[in-house]
Amino acid sequence: MMWSHPDFDDHEAVHFFTDPASGLRAIIAIHSTHRGPSSGGVRFWHYAREADALTDALRLSRGMSYKNAMAGLPVGGGKGVILSDGSPKTQAQLLAFGAAIESVGGRYVTAEDVGMSEADMTTIAQATRHVSGLPVAAGKAGGDPGPVTALGVYLGIKAAVAEGLGRDDLSGVHIAIQGVGSVGGGTARRLAADGARLTLADANGDKAQALAQELGARAVGADEIMTVAADVFSPNALGAILNEQSIPHLAAGIVAGGANNQLATPADAQRLQARGVLYAPDYVINAGGIINVATEYFGLGDRADVEARVSEIPARLHAIWAESKASGVPAADVADAMARALIGRG
């Protein structure tokens, strides 16, 4: 039963869509509309098991509720997942997904996530108006949310270094980055410009090596990055990488990155704290993209307004760490409590 799924968290709705003509199989999970229509990107991904797609949709939509609330946005949390069979996505599938979004009556607004692009959003927009992340003119809010997410992660890492190392600069600070796509790569370039020493890894080893050569960094295998003896570990790929097996081998004293759902289970927050690791809750540090998307969709301002809102991320992190230090409660749990109160579930 859906209600007994371990990641079901009183989601308002979970929709399953099948379109035989295009081959679309998709899930739209709506966690909360307490603050406004649910908002969150759609990812196109090949899952080893169909059940993993449902788990992803449930976890990611809940994370979007928390992320949007903590960012002060007038939206709730939702997420879309398009299941890939290993073949490239087609225009017909994207149009069918747009029709699926339209069928839920404005309760879900989509944007880019893993495996999706601005061009894909343009195609989806042919079938529904409930889409953001569309190409925009210079200076306008919107477009690919990845670079804005990277800005927030960069600012969050600087805040974590100040909190955990007592330093107000990044010169010589060793940062191990897992995933060098739009977010991880953008973050790496900003960190390198500040003089940080970088070690990079990606599932695509050639991609990591190319960026390492560009930035004067070092590249290691994807299976090595978490055990690199660094000041900061920055996860910017897929989630659930901090777990009972990996945390004991983590060699960094700070974890701050843009990946969603970094903790495999709630108990992993306590495991990080027990090891003395300073943790930046993922949905707080990686809120830049959704700030960009919501600002575009609701007409809340221009790119300068987006960057002003993203610049507030460090203050939110410092408030969470201060409460965690005062209460002894792990930072992830402090953030969850704050977020749940903001969506009426405190």
Give counts: helices (H), strands (E), the chain: 12, 12
Please measure the distance between the N-terminal and C-terminal CA atoms of the chain and give it in whole angstroms: 26
State the Cα–Cα distance between residues 180 and 225, nearest whole angstrom: 12
State the Cα–Cα distance between residues 294 and 13, nearest whole angstrom: 21
Active-site annotation, residues: 79
Three-state secondary structure string covering 50-65: HHHHHHHHHHHHHHHH
User: For the chain, what percent of residues have pLDDT higher than 90?
Assistant: 86
pLDDT (mean) for 4-15: 94
264-296 pLDDT, tens digit each: 999 999 999 999 999 999 999 999 988 988 888
168-183 pLDDT, tens digit each: 999 999 999 999 999 9
Torsion of CA 237, 242, 247, 253, to 10 degrees: 60
Q: Which long-range contacts link 322-325 to residues 24+ away (Cβ below 8 Å)?
A: 324/273
pLDDT of residue 265: 92
CA angle 119, 125, 128 (to 5 degrees): 155
Phi, psi (rounded to 5 degrees) for 232: -135, 135
Domain boundaries, the chain: 2-124, 146-286+314-342
Alpha helices in 169-254 (DSSP H): 182-193, 205-215
State the Cα–Cα distance between residues 243 and 44, nearest whole angstrom: 25
Say if CB 272 and CB 247 are below 8 A apart.
yes
77-92 pLDDT, tens digit each: 999 999 999 999 999 9
Residue 298 has pLDDT above 90, yes or no: no
pLDDT of residue 301: 85
State the Cα–Cα distance between residues 143 and 288, nearest whole angstrom: 12
pLDDT of residue 143: 66
Judged by average pLDDT, the poorest of 82-86, 118-122, 136-140 is: 136-140
State the Cα–Cα distance between residues 201 and 203, nearest whole angstrom: 7
pLDDT of residue 138: 53
pLDDT of residue 174: 98
Residues β-bridged to residue 109? 39
141-200 pLDDT, tens digit each: 566 778 999 999 999 999 999 999 999 999 999 999 999 999 999 999 999 999 999 999
CATH architecture of the domain with residue range 2-124: 3-Layer(aba) Sandwich (3.40)
Average pLDDT over the chain reads 94
Q: Which long-range contacts link 214-219 to residues 24+ away (Cβ below 8 Å)?
A: 215/188, 215/189, 216/192, 217/188, 217/192
pLDDT of residue 183: 95
pLDDT of residue 52: 94
Residue 109 has pLDDT above 70, yes or no: yes
Q: Is the fold of 2-124 the same as that of 146-286+314-342?
A: yes
pLDDT band at 343 (very low <50, low <70, confident <90, very high): very high
Tokens of 51: 């059940």
pLDDT band at 137 (very low <50, low <70, confident <90, very high): low
**Better pLDDT: 27 or 142:** 27
CA angle 58, 59, 61 (to 5 degrees): 65
pLDDT band at 139 (very low <50, low <70, confident <90, very high): low
Domain 146-286+314-342, CATH among 3.40.50.920, 3.40.50.720, 3.40.1160.10, 3.30.2270.10: 3.40.50.720
pLDDT (mean) for 228-244: 94
Judged by average pLDDT, the poorest of 36-40, 62-66, 140-144 is: 140-144
Whose CA is closest to 181, among 128, 113, 241? Answer: 113
